[in-house]
Amino acid sequence: MEVALGFLIAFIIAITGVGAGTITAPMLILVLHVPVAISVGTALAYSTIVKAVVVPLQILRRQVAWKVLGVMLLGGLPGVVAGALLFRRYAAVGGHAIFFAVLGLIIVFSAAWHLYRHFRPQSFAGERPTRLGAIGALMFPIAAEVGFASSGAGAMGTLVLMGLSSLDAAKVVGTDLTFAFCMTLTGAGIHFAGGNFDTALLLKLISGGVLGAVAGSWVAPRVPSRQLRLALSVCLVLLGLSFCYRAAEMGAVGHSGTVNQVAVKVEQLL
């Protein structure tokens, strides 16, 4: 099952372009019932390996704006460290409702962004000035979400670069992919140090992922990828909403449990 899931994730990424971080952790949680803490660390490692194959190609093609990337890292590296440490704190006390809420919102936002780009394609005129200060500041919360929930860098990083820089489409993609690689690598290292990692599961995902990437790359030119991205984005919106609903349920149960505990203590005092 793990190999098949790795194949499916890589196949979807290859034919749609949706980020690995957006779908890996949710699939591990829903399909394989992997514990939340393990799923995030393993998903970050898997996403890092996927990006490690792509990023060198972007560098060789000179599609990375190094100055912009440096500013992004100044804000992003502290953010991903803070997010990963915050996740470790909540995982230790069982704060899974918060995790499901954050992950659900990130998935909904990412999928909504893909839907927006489907119906309103963005033109890269290169006329707007590059606002490095704003880009660096926004990378902190974006990277914190990567460390906390293993996803978010792709869609939101692209959105920031498109709105606040004069980079063309190729450099937006290359710079954002390189930034995301640095974030997932850092986040995976922190989660690995905290023991939130499953090596056997990761190896199985990779073994299936290699085949999935090859198959997806072969199929991609032969299928209507635009329609596939649209369908997948709609499914991701529903998936994100289901995570938000689950978080609300968990929060309601936790609140009910707290109220019951208080009631019991009051009865004992009386």
User: Is the pLDDT reported for residue 132 higher than 90?
Assistant: no
- Written as one string, the DSSP assignment of 128-173 is SPP-HHHHHHHHHHHHHHHHHHS--HHHHHHHHHHHH----HHHHH
Query: 7-11, 165-169, 194-198, 251-255: which range is least confident on average?
Result: 251-255
User: Is the pLDDT reported for residue 129 higher than 90?
Assistant: no
pLDDT score at 77: 93
Q: Please state, for a pLDDT cut of 70, what percent of the chain lies above it.
A: 70
pLDDT in tens, 209-248: 888 877 876 776 666 656 666 776 777 777 677 767 666 7
pLDDT in tens, 47-86: 888 778 778 888 888 888 899 999 999 999 999 999 888 8
User: Is the pLDDT reported for residue 178 higher than 90?
Assistant: no
pLDDT score at 99: 66
More confident residue, 50 or 252: 50
- Nearest-10 crossing angle of helices 66-92, 169-193: 30
10 Å Cβ neighbour count for 119?
7
